[in-house]
Amino acid sequence: MRNPGWIDLQVNGCSGIDFSSPELTGDDFLRAAERVLESGTGCFLPTLITSPFGLYRRNLGVIRRAVVRHGLEREVPGVHLEGPFISADPGAAGAHNPDWVVPPDPEKVEALLDLEPGFVRLVTLGADAENAAGAVRLLRSRGVAVSVGHHLADSGEIAAAADAGAQALTHLGNGVPGMVPRHRNPIWAGLAEERLSAMIITDGHHLPPELIRVICKVKGAAKIIVTSDASPGAGLPPGPCRVFGSDAILEPGGRLYNPATGYLAGSAVMLAECMRRLESLGIFSEAELRMAGRDNALKLIGPA
């Protein structure tokens, strides 16, 4: 499979560098960006997870100044805010700190977007959040792509988000509790909503092959977006590490998890590896793999 320059909409950091760290520097970001781009990713969105407002103010500026200073606007056209407008339920929040979750009030949404105007390209919010549909409409009116996830939303709430303009589902199959109702749950509801593309993590740990096959068959290549969900643990040797401010363990096989909760703490690989794993399943042709690893992501966020 030829690499056309994969586009990754969810990179939380790598090589011990956390884009959501209150200690992130411009040099840190540039070192991480270099490693991401060297891995075969042609363009990516640095992703900040649920954090206090002051952290967004600080780190959005740090990242944007580094990008502009080094002429990386095409490679890093903006950021993905995964939160803070998600579910505070521990199972849905996953590696996010539920204490920092807030409802998507218009004032809060506008305040975040105004920190670095035009730099937020994608926001993940919970479709079950209070005023979720209103927040989706506001974000879309500001030219921001919207994905729903890290929620316990039912089919009606997911449909309402799609009605309001939401376009995708953030890492479908993850960001939910380990045990959910067998029939009525966010995974089935997301699969059934034909208007929403499915972002999926094909690192070999987030989703079993059979679920990847089902999602890909139901959504079709035109509505699959592969993301790495690369965390600060990506590129580190196996063993204990710090991820998103918490202790984590990276196993020799590549599984990265928080030992206190058992939940995965992002992935330990880059998008090229995720695409190789997806290719190995034999679901898509080379042209369809290009759609899933590049074209659909570009369609979602628009050109740099």
Q: Which of 18, 99, 229, 247 is catalytic?
A: 229
Catalytic residue check, 114: no
Q: What are the angstrom distances between the C-alpha of 257 and each of 54, 107, 233, 238?
A: 27, 35, 10, 12
- What beta strand segments (E) does 111-238 contain? 120-125, 145-148, 168-169, 197-201, 224-227
Backbone angles phi, psi at 10, to 5 degrees: -150, 95
Strands 79-82 and 120-125: parallel
Q: Are 44 and 34 in contact (CB under 8 A)?
A: no
One-letter identity of residue 123: V
The DSSP 8-state label assigned to residue 266 in this structure reads S
**Residue 91 CB contacts under 8 Å (≥ 6 apart), including other chains:** 152, 176, 177, 178
Residue 84 preceded by cis peptide, ω within 30: yes
> Which amino acids are annotated catalytic?
229
